[in-house]
Amino acid sequence: MQIPYTTEARPDTGLYNAKLGIWLFLASEVMLFAGLFSSYILLRTGAVEWPHHVLPVGMATANTALLITSSMTMVMAWEALKTNNWSRHRACLGLTVALGVIFLLIKFVEYQEHIAAGELPSRNTFFALYYTLTAVHALHIVGGLVVMLYLLGPGAKLWAEQPVQFTNRVESTGLYWHFVDFVWILLFPLLYLL
Amino acid sequence: MPSGRQPFFRTYVFSLDHKVIGIQYAITGLLFLLFGFSLMMIMRYQLAYPMTPVPFIGGMLSQANASGGILLPEFYNQLGAMHGTVMVFLGVVPLAIGGFGNYLIPLQIGAADMAFPKLNLMSYWVYAVGGLIMIATFFVPGGAAQSGWTSYPPLSVIASGGQTWWLVGMVFLITSSTLGSINFIVTIVQLRAPGLTWMRLPFFVWAQFAAAFLLLLAFPPLEAAGVLQLMDRVAGTSFFLPSGLVVAGQAVTSMSGTAEGTLASGGGNPLLWQHLFWFLAHPEVYVLILPAMGIVGEIIANNTRRPLWGYRGMVYSVGFLAFMSMVVWAHHMYITGMGTTLAAFFQTTTMIISVPSIVILTSLLMTLWGASIRFTTPMLFALAFLPMFGIGGLTGLPLGLAPSDIHLHDTYYVIGHFHYVVAPGTIFALFAGIYYWFPKATGRRMNDLLGRIHFWGSLVCMNVIFMPMFIQGLGGMNRRLYDGGMQFQHNADLLKWNVVIGIAAWTMGLFQVPFIINFFTSIRWGAPASANPWDATTLEWATTSPPPHHNFDTPPSVYRAAYEYSVPGAERDFSPQFEPERG
Amino acid sequence: MRTSADTAPDTRRHVATFASQLVLMLATVGVSRLDLGLRLGATVVMLLAAVNATVVAVALMGVRRDGPLVRLLVVLTLVVIIGLLVWPAWDIATRVRVF
């Protein structure tokens, strides 16, 4: 007896196993960020004063644009597989990774600037939240990049042997990546604009 | 039996087979339960005979923990915090969910394994590592976590080193739990055998399904909170440290190594931790009870030879219970100075949540009404669960209402309440499950006489331990007091109960010995069991005892509901789900 | 299964999604620059961000496409999150201020 529905969808649910699995994982991840967002709201509600305009909006806006673009390239990477366009898939996935790396580099520069100015997490709750929220998000970016590098590297062999399963893996990774974009789109205004 | 010639480690240690992983979870969970219970048996000596050396063990403890064999307050607090942590996170949940859930779900739905076997393997080992980290904290400088299993700041932030590792351990456990819950949900949704519609699912599977959802959605905010507390302890932040905090006459300095000497920034809020912690911890207690209800349901149907009364109502109740459990958490926070509107909201939801529990309990009782009951050992434990859970549930009501909770919060009444639900409640159900499914897992039956000794001894002792706690709590005796409440005048008449409780606790420890002996000797020398020794109806009994590696030689189909016992006109008093219509 | 004949419309859809996201992002930044006061300003800014996030969920993640089970999961999670976001903050907001 094999485990069914690993690549083909179960008729009554319309899903293959990993697709449901990744959605459930995203539900739990969204709860993780909700916990952090809830902390932000609670601490800010109770705060007597709150810093304004101390974070670099320009850098963060550029980062937002980068992530939005990378979501588009990620979708294209998946759709290229569905139309059997291997080279296009590789290009789009590679581009997604590149955009993610640039995001992290800009974040690194941003952190450097604050640390140089003595603005550490221990400074006040605003900076504590800023570092923690963006760092947890950045860790999720790193996780996504690791998976994508695997799909570009050793994992790419699966395309030749089991194209449907490989396509599904790319789709699942895409779902995760869009979620990371989703969180940033909400995080960016909360920390940088309000 | 291993299929093919796989090396020992692949077969028994790093197996992908859900049955092996389930047994690993179960045995690890049972060991942790024993360990957590032992911590309490030590504490009970201090409570019964304060400031006297603990026999045997006192001599083995280091001077940092027990001066001359007498427990020091800091060590008492470590034992207390770790007792709670170990029992809940390392004992009951891994056994109830990781053990029973993993072993039985694929079998009961007719699947070859879980949806993601590799993820299953990872879940177990991440749990095992997390558990070891937790236990190892007893040996770090400053000792284990000692701020309660609830780890309330500011105390937990300024407490000694073990707390940091407690938080790290929690991250491991939460990761394990999340991976496991994804696996359970996908398995139940996607891998049901042909003919196994939702309303034909065994109640046990429904209960595990709901519990998995709770774990999936409720744990992450605690992970977030854990990260924040780690930051407070290690990076010098003040998520939970309020402004102007002074401890022992000194303003609190930043906990970060780099900013030593500088004052903590403040601006944090201890209530933030409480909200995030209880957001998990309340659904967590429903995670503790749901598998137990599932197990009891299976055993009661089987031993009354009747369908579960009101199965549909029970299923809806499980779903409603799970949902409601996510909106009651602040009833743990009534005395923190909450506004009256919010308190009213949480009191309302807390009262409402008692309804589905009552529906489930009543349905189980109605199943018994007029039945010819088989008093097998599992059935004894399952029957005892009902009144014990009833007492636990009813004593929760005064705690759920703020006016009475103001008097009872943080007293022994609370300890009595939740232990009734978890100890003679959930743990009895887990024992019932072990006696019931042991034949399936091992192909042998456990000894009945030892089982009955285990049952009666445990039942009496449980009640002698926890009933007096209601008296103590109503009398105003606070919990987590190192000296057992001696220092307060109003506790004077209540102290004698500590002796009674202590003796009952150690006696209960003795009554677990027949169980331990029974468990291990029956694996080798128990009476052989057939595929379906209990004449049960669910799918796990369709295959051999123990099942082969891939569970079913031919993929099963399901032809009827889960509890078709005593169907009028049928040949036998049970019609299994997996047998087609005869004739 | 889509064929290569469908790629052209898809690229248009992607560009449209991408463009709308950029516009929403710029609008969010723009509104934050206006002096609307904290309450109104925060509400509008986060609303725009929420719309942007919804575009991600619907157009990119395919919440609607992946079936009723996924939709149910999303709705359930959202309901739970609202509780987590609202009640703790409400608790703090409705307490008597000691300092």
What pairing do the DSSP bridges indicate for beta strands B250-251 and B70-71? unpaired
* B217 contacts A122? CB cut-off 8 A: no
Q: Are A22 and A143 in contact (CB under 8 A)?
A: no
In chain A, how long is the greatest CA-to-CA distance?
A: 63
Please state the ipTM of this predicted complex.
0.96
Q: Residue B444 in 3-state DSSP?
A: strand
Two structure tokens written together for B450: 């030892």
**Residue B3: predicted pLDDT:** 52
Do C56 and C86 have their domain in common?
Answer: no
What range defines the domain where residue C95 resides? 67-99
Q: Show Cβ contacts of residue C5 under 8 Å, excluding neighbours closer than 6 positions.
A: none
B236 and chain A in contact, CB less than 8 A: yes
Give the residue ranges of chain B where pLDDT is below 50: 1-2, 259, 583
B252 domain-assigned? no
Cβ proximity of A152 and A97 under 8 Å: yes
Please check whether residue B140 lies inside any domain of the structure: yes
C-alpha–C-alpha distance, residues B495 and B488, integer Å: 10
State pLDDT tens for residues B275-321.
999 999 999 999 999 999 999 999 999 999 999 999 999 999 999 99
Q: Is B56 helix (H, G, I), strand (E, B) or coil?
A: coil
Instruction: Give C3 to chain A, closest Cα distance, Å.
Output: 6
A15, A19, A28, A42: best mutation site toward chain B, by most B Cβ within 10 Å?
A: A28
Which residue intervals of B12-86 are DSSP H helices?
18-48, 57-60, 73-85
Which residue in this structure is represented by tokens 């002698």? B464
B508-536: buried (b, 16+ CB within 10 Å) or exposed (e) per residue?
A: bbebbebbeebbeebeeebeebeebbbeb
Contact B469, B415 (CB under 8 A): yes
User: Are residues C69 and A46, on separate chains, in Cβ contact within 8 Å?
Assistant: no
Q: Which of B173, B151, B174 is nearest to B164 (CA)?
A: B151
Nearest to B337 among C80, C84, C95 (CB): C95
| C-beta atoms of A42 and B116 within 8 A | no
Give Rg (Cα) of chain C: 19
Rounded Cα distance, B192 and B171, in Å: 32
Quick one: C3 and C37 in the same domain? yes
Number of neighbours of residue C16 by Cβ within 10 angstroms: 11
CB atoms within 10 A of CB B187: 30
Q: C52 with C88, same domain? A: no
CB of C94 within 8 Å of any CB in chain A?
Answer: no
C85 shares contact with chain A (CB less than 8 Å): yes
A65 touches chain C (CB under 8 A): yes
**One domain for residues C74 and C55:** no
Q: Which of A17, A131, A175 to mutate to test the interface with B (most CBs of B within 10 A)?
A: A17
| Residue B242 touches chain A, beta carbons under 8 Å | no
pLDDT tens for chain A, 194 residues long, are 689 999 999 999 999 999 999 999 999 999 999 999 999 999 998 888 899 888 999 999 999 999 999 999 999 999 999 999 999 999 999 999 999 999 999 999 999 999 999 999 999 999 999 999 999 999 999 999 999 999 999 999 999 999 999 999 999 999 999 999 999 999 999 999 98
**Per the structure block, which two tokens stand in for A137?**
């998000």
Write out chain B residues lying below 8 Å of A128, CB-based.
Answer: 231, 235, 237-239, 265
**Side-chain half-sphere of A51: how many Cα atoms within 13 Å?**
16
Tell me the C-alpha distance between A160 and B305, whole Å: 55
Amino acid C98: pLDDT: 60
Distance CA C33, CA A16 (A): 46
Give the tokens for residue B240: 């939970």
Give the global pTM. Answer: 0.95
Shared domain for C15 and C49, answered yes or no, is yes
Domain that holds residue B346: 9-240+266-542
Number of neighbouring beta carbons within 10 Å of residue B291: 27
CA dist C27 and C51 (Å) reads 11
Which segments of chain A does DSSP mark as H helices, in order?
17-45, 57-82, 86-116, 125-152, 158-161, 163-188
Residues A187, A30: Cα–Cα separation, whole Å: 12
Which of C1, C32, C85 is the closest to A37 by Cβ? Answer: C85
Domain A17-193: assigned CATH number = 1.20.120.80
DSSP secondary-structure letter at B579? Answer: S
- With CB atoms and an 8 Å threshold, state whether C80 touches B217: yes
Classify residue A136 by burial, with Cβ atoms within 10 Å: 0-12, 13-18, 19+.
middle
Domain assignment present for residue B504? The answer is: yes
Nearest 5°: the CA angle B24, B30, B36 is 135
CB of A193 less than 8 A from some CB of C: yes
Total structural domains within chain C: 2
Interface residue of A49, A69, A75, A180 to substitute, partner C, most C CBs within 10 Å: A75
Tell me how far apart the alpha carbons of residues B502 and B394 are, in angstroms, rounded to a whole number: 25
Q: Within this chain, do residues C14 and C35 fall inside the same structural domain, yes or no?
A: yes
Nearest CA in chain C to B346: C87
At B261 the pLDDT is 61
Contact in structure between B103 and B23 (CB atoms under 8 Å):
yes
The closest alpha carbon to B266, from B147, B160, B154, belongs to: B154
Give the per-residue pLDDT at B161.
84
Chain-centroid distance, C-alpha B103: 17
Q: What share of chain B is helix, strand, coil (3-state, %, to 5)?
A: 65, 5, 30
Query: Is residue C52 located within the same domain as residue C75?
Result: no
Surface-to-core class of residue B470, CB atoms within 10 Å of its CB (0-12 exposed, 13-18 middle, 19+ buried)? buried
State whether residue C80 sits within 8 Å of chain B by CB. yes
Q: Whose structure tokens read 């923990």?
A: B65
CB–CB of A35 and B219 under 8 A? Answer: no
SS3 label, residue A147: helix
Residue C37 banded pLDDT, cuts 50, 70, 90: confident
Q: Are residues C36 and C15 in the same domain?
A: yes
Per-residue b or e along C67-76, where b marks 16 or more CB atoms closer than 10 Å to that residue's CB: bebbeebbee
CA-wise closest residue to B144 among B123, B126, B165: B165
Hey, is B443 helix, strand or coil? coil
- Say if CB A122 and CB B256 are below 8 A apart: yes
Residues C49, C32: Cα–Cα separation, whole Å: 11
Regarding whether C76 and C46 lie in a shared domain, the answer is: no
Residues A83 and C4: beta-carbon distance below 8 Å? yes
Quote the Cα angle for A105-C28-C18, to 5°.
65
Contact B271 C91 (CB under 8 A): yes
Question: Cα distance from B538 to chain A (closest Cα, Å)?
Answer: 19
> C8 and C42 share a domain?
yes
State the DSSP code for A156: G
Put simply, whether A138 touches B (Cβ < 8 Å) is: no
Domain assignments of chain A as residue spans, ordered by start: 17-193
Neighbours of C30 (CB within 10 A): 12
What CATH number does the domain containing B158 carry?
Answer: 1.20.210.10
Judge whether B356 lies within some domain.
Answer: yes
User: What is the number of structural domains in chain B?
Assistant: 1
> What's the N-to-C CA distance of chain A in angstroms?
56
Instruction: Report how far residue B103's alpha carbon sits from residue A26's, in angstroms, rounded to the nearest whole number.
Output: 26
Which residues in chain C are contacts of B189 at CB distance < 8 A?
Answer: 69
Provide the 3-class DSSP secondary structure of residue B66: strand
Same domain, C15 and C34: yes
C90: contact with B, CB 8 A cutoff: yes
Compare all CA atoms of chain B with the CA of A48 and give the residue at the minimum distance: B267
DSSP secondary structure of B189-222: HH-PPTT--GGGS-HHHHHHHHHHHHHHHHHHHH
B386 token code pair: 């009902």
